[in-house]
A and B are shown apart, each in its own frame.
Chain A
Amino acid sequence: QVHLVQSGAEVKKPGASVKISCKASEYTFTNYYIHWVRQAPGHGLEWMGIINPTGGSTTYAQKFQGRVTMTRDTSTSTVYMEVSSLRSEDTAIFYCARDSRGFLDSWGQGTLVTVSS
């Protein structure tokens, strides 16, 4: 059974950065891309970007380009997402999810990031 376990909740001040982790297990890490999805309180799902764990190549949604960086560590089967220049609108739950032929077949439990002064 695929497992994606994310790091815990974070509280950050406006202008700061946050780095969230997503540790994969029970499958071959380098065989599947990983997505990141944002969900603001009371809102829908917003696709942020995708990373190829094999070579580390990324594609970011235009809205997040320049402010989001996705990386991976193949030695620990972990994907990271850093969001910089945080603002109050970034208060959200961030999910990682595994890609399987274009759809997201397994999801992490989510990481709540609260941006507040």
Chain B
Amino acid sequence: QSVLTQPPSVSGAPGQRVTISCTDSSSNIGAGYDVHWYQQLPGTAPKLLIFGNTNRPSGVPDRFSGSKSGTSASLAITGLQAEDEAVYYCQSYDNLLSGSRVFGGGTKLTVL
């Protein structure tokens, strides 16, 4: 199975900007597959945050943005708020097994 690598944790003070990286070890992102991001608040199911590398579903604040370049993708959060404290996951298609998907290991965001 392919691997998407994320930093285990990031932190920032309220109002600051943080970024979370998602690096591909098996040429999924680099092969052109889209990257998607999910937010999981404590004790809840994951929620779609960014789809198709850069797109926000309705209702997601524009403080959240996604980008992709080469074999990696990033999630940026500006104007950090306490309620942003959560675990964030990237996800892409797994080209080692047709039809399958792969998640990154998740990044815990702490708002200081």
Which residues on A are within 8 Å of B, measured CB to CB?
A: 35, 37, 44-47, 49-50, 59, 61-63, 95, 97, 100-110
**A80 CB → nearest B CB, Å:** 19
Do residues A105 and B97 form an inter-chain contact, with CB atoms below 8 A?
Answer: no
Main secondary structure of the interface of B (DSSP, over half): strand
**B35 CB → nearest A CB, Å:** 9
Do residues A47 and B52 form an inter-chain contact, with CB atoms below 8 A?
Answer: no
Main secondary structure of the interface of A (DSSP, over half): strand
12 more contacts with CB within 8 A, not counting A63-B1, A102-B93, A107-B46, are: A44-B89, A45-B89, A47-B102, A50-B100, A59-B98, A61-B100, A95-B45, A102-B36, A102-B101, A103-B91, A104-B38, A106-B48
Question: What CA separation (Å) do A21 and B106 show in the bound complex?
Answer: 26
Taking CB as reference atom, which chain A residue is nearest B93? A102
B106: chain A residues within 8 A (beta carbon): 44-45
Do residues A103 and B1 form an inter-chain contact, with CB atoms below 8 A?
Answer: no
Question: What CA separation (Å) do A63 and B100 show in the bound complex?
Answer: 12
Q: How many residues of B contact A (CB 8 A)?
A: 28
A101: chain B residues within 8 A (beta carbon): 51-52
Which of B38, B94, B101 sits near A35, CB closer than 8 Å? Answer: B101
Which of B45, B48, B87, B99 sits near A50, CB closer than 8 Å? Answer: B99
A50: chain B residues within 8 A (beta carbon): 99-101
Contact with A along B28-57 (1 / 0, CB 8 A): 000001101010100001111001100001
Do residues A62 and B101 form an inter-chain contact, with CB atoms below 8 A?
Answer: no
* Most chain A beta-carbon contacts within 10 A, residue among B46, B98, B101: B101
A-B contact list, 14 entries, CB within 8 Å: A37-B46, A44-B103, A44-B105, A46-B103, A47-B94, A47-B100, A47-B102, A59-B97, A103-B34, A103-B36, A103-B48, A105-B48, A109-B45, A110-B45
Do residues B99 and A59 form an inter-chain contact, with CB atoms below 8 A?
Answer: yes
